[in-house]
A and B are shown apart, each in its own frame.
Chain A
């Protein structure tokens, strides 16, 4: 597996340059107690505990994903079962196994379903990060592990969300790494998490507390503890609206690994 990875990296000089040569594809994160911006009723007041884990330094790119579908033809867009990826899956590629003009090798892969992202990570003995892991990693800026209280940092992230999404995506890894050595958690693409479907947000707030109208049952309603944290708010809103087959122009992913 390591050898295959090395070959892949060598085959991608552009991607290799942008993270610096010889650097591993994953960065290690120490974990620890973490105050999520999400507030679950059943966890009231308790900190989330994030176990040590590793996270990819950059989102998975078109080139990475192309190598994967060549290896696993069942994930090519003309062969994938409709229950695992919607029709627009990889629709920006020229053909099932060619990137073409609208998909640069170094750009993050988008138009991928959760099932496809999950399968990609499994193919390299990894998995998708949980929301808690993603939020924990994304709380850092270039220097601090938790920059969330800094209004200037929040402004910067917000600037990205207000950019029109019809311009071409930059390559992965161009933005400076955060304090953990991870690039592009903000400012490039939305990212799948393993537990996207655990976010049970009722679209209609009027239904909250009304068991007859609620979309879901049981306690443990989700609310936002930190309403000024738009980066998290918007990600949660989007993830909670997605189905596993969905693919969009701005939704990609990266993989994580548990530390034994």
Chain B
């Protein structure tokens, strides 16, 4: 299962490199307002560590969460699914979804993979990933998310969902969670993804 996943992932990488648009993007410098200027190695549900800038070339929906969260984080996954469902299959295939953990101490690849399995997330689009402990505050800062670790291991946090264009520029954000997608956010995504 794991090796299959890795195969899928590596073939995706080849696909990305082969796509002329993506190759062109990698050659040109990042725009100054791209979040990918923040160096951010993330370890995904497959155990592979890559910088988040490897998502460049494709629009992304990005948010933060943690796997042991009881109340709000399931709603973040719901929100990601709701956004996907409001898109055509073609649009969906052109969009990635990245959920960055704010709990590096506990969210190892196995914990992330459990969420992938439980919520039946398609890993060709979804990337659940954990930063190094010292990078959590930085990625939260770039995304405009505030958080504090609580005494019982839970987190108190704001829950922004951010839409990045292919170059990593923030083009929309919403704080609407759950299964009703924010119409303005969806409109921005459709515009970015074409017909």
**In the complex the two chains form, is A243's CB within 8 Å of B141's CB?**
yes
Tell me which of B137, B140, B141, B157 contacts A218 (CB under 8 A): B157
Instruction: Note all chain A residues with C-beta closer than 8 A to B37.
Output: 81, 83-84
Tell me which of B34, B154, B158 contacts A200 (CB under 8 A): B158
**In the complex the two chains form, is B146's CB within 8 Å of A200's CB?**
yes
Instruction: Note all chain B residues with C-beta closer than 8 A to A194.
Output: 137
A64 located at the interface, meaning its Cβ lies under 8 Å from any Cβ of chain B in the complex: no
**In the complex the two chains form, is B152's CB within 8 Å of A42's CB?**
yes
A118 located at the interface, meaning its Cβ lies under 8 Å from any Cβ of chain B in the complex: yes
Instruction: Note all chain B residues with C-beta closer than 8 A to A259.
Output: none
Interface size class of B (residues with CB under 8 A): 20 to 34
Interface membership of chain A positions 217-243, coded 1 if the CB is closer than 8 angstroms to chain B and 0 otherwise: 111110000000000000000000001
**In the complex the two chains form, is A217's CB within 8 Å of B140's CB?**
no
Interface membership of chain B positions 23-61, coded 1 if the CB is closer than 8 angstroms to chain A and 0 otherwise: 000000010111101100000000000000000000000
Expressed in whole angstroms, the minimum distance between the Cβ of A130 and any Cβ of chain B is: 11
Q: Which A residue sits closest to B69, measured CB to CB?
A: A218
**In the complex the two chains form, is A42's CB within 8 Å of B38's CB?**
no
**In the complex the two chains form, is B137's CB within 8 Å of A195's CB?**
yes
* A-B interface pairs (CB < 8 A), number: 87
A3 located at the interface, meaning its Cβ lies under 8 Å from any Cβ of chain B in the complex: no
Tell me which of B33, B138, B157 contacts A118 (CB under 8 A): B138
Instruction: Note all chain B residues with C-beta closer than 8 A to A198.
Output: 146-149
Q: How many residues of A contact B (CB 8 A)?
A: 27
**In the complex the two chains form, is B34's CB within 8 Å of A219's CB?**
no
**In the complex the two chains form, is A216's CB within 8 Å of B156's CB?**
yes
A81-B33, A218-B155 given; A199·B38 CB < 8 A: no
Tell me which of A115, A118, A219 contacts B156 (CB under 8 A): A219
**In the complex the two chains form, is B156's CB within 8 Å of A218's CB?**
yes
Instruction: Note all chain B residues with C-beta closer than 8 A to A220.
Output: 148, 150-151, 154, 156
Q: Which B residue sits closest to A127, measured CB to CB?
A: B134
Tell me which of A83, A114, A216 contacts B146 (CB under 8 A): A216
A200-B148, A218-B71 given; A115·B138 CB < 8 A: yes
B144 located at the interface, meaning its Cβ lies under 8 Å from any Cβ of chain A in the complex: yes
A215 located at the interface, meaning its Cβ lies under 8 Å from any Cβ of chain B in the complex: yes
A43–B137 Cα distance when bound, in Å, is 21
**In the complex the two chains form, is A82's CB within 8 Å of B33's CB?**
yes
Tell me which of A83, A114, A217 contacts B72 (CB under 8 A): A217
Q: Can you spell out 28 A-B residue pairs with CB atoms less than 8 angstroms apart?
A: A40-B148, A40-B150, A42-B151, A42-B152, A81-B30, A81-B33, A83-B33, A115-B38, A115-B138, A115-B141, A118-B137, A197-B146, A197-B147, A198-B146, A198-B147, A199-B146, A200-B146, A200-B158, A215-B175, A216-B159, A218-B72, A218-B155, A218-B157, A219-B154, A219-B156, A221-B156, A244-B138, A245-B141
Question: Told that A40-B150, A84-B37 touch, could you supply 9 new A-B pairs with CB distance under 8 A?
Answer: A115-B38, A197-B147, A199-B148, A200-B157, A215-B158, A216-B158, A217-B159, A218-B154, A244-B142
